[in-house]
Amino acid sequence: MHSGDRRTDTVCAVIVTYNRPALLARCLDKLEAQSRPPDHVLVVDNASTGETADLLAGRDGIEVLRLDSNLGSSGGFAKGLEHAHRQSYDWLWMLDDDTLADERCLEELLAGAARAPRQASIIASVVRWQDGRLHPMNRPWLRARRRADFAEGAAAGLALIRTSTFVSTMVHRDAVTSHGYPPAHYFVWLDDMEYTSRILRHAHGYIAPESVAWHWTPQPYDTLTDARRRFYYKARNHLWLLRRGESFGGRERVTYALAYLRAIRTYVRDSPSRGEAVVTTLRGVRDGLRREPR
Amino acid sequence: MSEVTAIVFGPPPPGAGDPPGATATLALPHLGALADACRRAATPLVWLLDAAAIASEQTLPTLLEHQDAPAASLPVDARGAPVAAAIGRIDDDDADALLERVSERRVPLRHTPVTSLLVEVRLAVAVAPPDPPRFGAYAGTEWTARLFARQPGMLVPASLVEAPPPATGAPAHALRTARAGAWRRGEAMRETYRAVRALAGAGR
């Protein structure tokens, strides 16, 4: 798919932010401190209203793409990826503004890309929460059933993956050329899964275990335990993802459909207000069954 | 290099020689005689090798770099491509542990057919030996499921061994292996289905 010496590849970091200047500052500090800094840093400001603009104005070497309205992280990443892709960088390194990349994070991602046994369309970091555990929201979906490919990757010190999240994930520009951009209309949640699983359905992606990023959320949330009202997006987007059928097919699609039902059951069961949870879920299911805006 | 006794099991192909790198070699008709062979081995480590497999000069030394756990080679075909069915099952229950093992260039396994496996004698004799009459072609899988439950086994992908795909067993053997708990539900269904299908195909 793509060729050349991965170690000399160029990288554009794409960060999406919305009204979290303190976290964004830390995220950018971490990028500055990289043992192998990115060649370019693009911050997509989702029409933040607070101090974000001042913070960004005071930073050198950063390109800011300010959006007129808040398009959610999905819209921000879609716009950022489109903008960065036009600038011909080899890799587009996707980071939420609450991602704190370890010093060698990017260097190890590129080293992983260089030693990958197959042309890698995606290389991702291990994402941890504050206490060192794998972050539940970014738990890797390992492709362990593809035993031969997995073994081949492991021989190079890489773990074959099926999807990844936009918390320190590098997407190769050729994959963007072939597959386009993430679904901006998701607003939040599952846009990264839709996009990376669509790319990796017939391609190879890996986690480089030595590349570590910290997802600095206040709690180790996942899509069920995060702010409860946002489950609407999970219920809607999951259904869109399933219905579109470009990311998962066959048995994987069935598995993902069952995961959807389990998620709804767990959400409703564990919600402090079941009535509210049912209403939120039904709204998401209703909109997920409607025509998906493209 | 550590001293290792190679235990070669199964009918030897014509012209087969001793596997390279081993201190001594013992030949067995099948895996069922493993316990006795382990007792005869004068080394702390044994290398279980299918007689139909072809090991290279590097197969054993590479396994020895990972001798802290039962270490299995990666079975490949004559073109060097991995033989997925001969790898066994990757243990991905603990993603964090799996990633750590991958960074060490190895992969935890829940079970594997025995093609090329380096294991400590004390561990090999601590579990009941493989039972080919009961489990047939799945005897190695059933045995390693018990062995790896005691000490996790590792696939070492850099250690290559040329091997044919593992034979599909009889449905009765598949059912017994499933009942013994070597496989999870999905695996048990798939393997039993394959065994039935192979039997039906052989009957045509």
pLDDT of A6? 62
pLDDT of A196? 98
Find the mean pLDDT for residues A91-116: 97
Scanning every residue of chain B, which has its alpha carbon at the shortest distance from the alpha carbon of A211? Answer: B103
Superfamily (CATH) of domain A6-215: Spore Coat Polysaccharide Biosynthesis Protein SpsA; Chain A (3.90.550.10)
Distance CA A224, CA A137 (A): 9
> Beta strands B45-50 and B89-90: pairing type?
unpaired
Residue A154 CA to chain centroid, in angstroms?
A: 23
Domains with residue ranges and CATH for chain B: 4-166 (3.90.550.60), 168-204 (no CATH)
Band (A294; pLDDT cuts 50, 70, 90) = confident
Cβ-contact A161, B92 below 8 angstroms? no
State the average pLDDT for chain A.
94
Select from B74, B91, B102, B104 the residue whose CB has the most chain A CBs within 10 Å, as the one to mutate to test that interface: B102
Band (A3; pLDDT cuts 50, 70, 90) = very low
**Each residue of B65-121: pLDDT tens digit?**
999 999 999 999 999 999 999 999 999 999 999 999 999 999 999 999 999 999 999
List the domain boundaries for chain A.
6-215, 228-289
Q: Inform me whether the pLDDT recorded for A200 exceeds 60.
A: yes
Max intra-chain CA distance, chain B: 51
Find the mean pLDDT for residues A209-220: 96
Q: Inform me whether the pLDDT recorded for A228 exceeds 80.
A: no
Scanning every residue of chain B, which has its alpha carbon at the shortest distance from the alpha carbon of A132? Answer: B96
Contact A144 B90 (CB under 8 A): yes
pLDDT of A1? 44
- Tokens found for residue B204: 């045509």
Amino acid at A40: H
Contact A150 B90 (CB under 8 A): yes
Band (A221; pLDDT cuts 50, 70, 90) = confident
- The closest of A121, A140, A160, A142 to A212, measured between CA atoms, is A140
Find the mean pLDDT for residues A244-260: 93
Selected residue with higher pLDDT from A8 and B176: B176
Share of chain A above pLDDT 70, in %: 97
Q: Is A155 on the interface with B (CB under 8 A)?
A: yes
**Each residue of B143-202: pLDDT tens digit?**
999 999 999 999 999 999 999 988 889 999 999 999 999 999 989 999 999 999 888 887
pLDDT of A272? 87
Find the mean pLDDT for residues A151-173: 97
Residues near A11 by Cβ (< 8 Å), separated by ≥ 6? A38, A39, A40, A89, A90, A91, A92, A93, A106, A110, A170
Distance CA A280, CA A8 (A): 48
pLDDT of B203? 64
Q: Both ends of chain A: CA-CA distance in Å?
A: 27
DSSP B82: B
DSSP B166: P
pLDDT of B28? 94
Give B36→chain A minimum CA distance, Å. Answer: 33
Beta bridge partners of A100: A214
DSSP B168: P
**Each residue of B112-153: pLDDT tens digit?**
999 999 999 999 999 999 999 999 999 999 999 999 999 999
Residues of A in contact with B82 (CB under 8 A): 147-148, 151-152
Three-class DSSP category at A252: helix
Cβ-contact A100, A26 below 8 angstroms? yes
Counting other chains too, the contacts that A222-227 makes at CB distance below 8 Å and 24 or more residues apart are A222/A136, A222/A137, A222/A139, A223/A137, A223/A189, A223/A190, A223/A263, A224/A263, A224/A266, A224/A267, A224/A270, A225/A136, A226/A137
**Each residue of B8-39: pLDDT tens digit?**
999 888 777 789 989 999 999 999 999 999 99
Which among B98, B106, B157 has the least Cβ separation from residue A152? B157
- Tokens found for residue B32: 């069922």
Q: Is A153 on the interface with B (CB under 8 A)?
A: yes
Q: Tell me how far CA of residue A135 lies from CA of A262, B104, B185, in angstroms.
A: 20, 22, 28
Cβ-contact A121, A3 below 8 angstroms? no
Cβ-contact B87, B74 below 8 angstroms? yes
Residues of B in contact with A152 (CB under 8 A): 82, 157
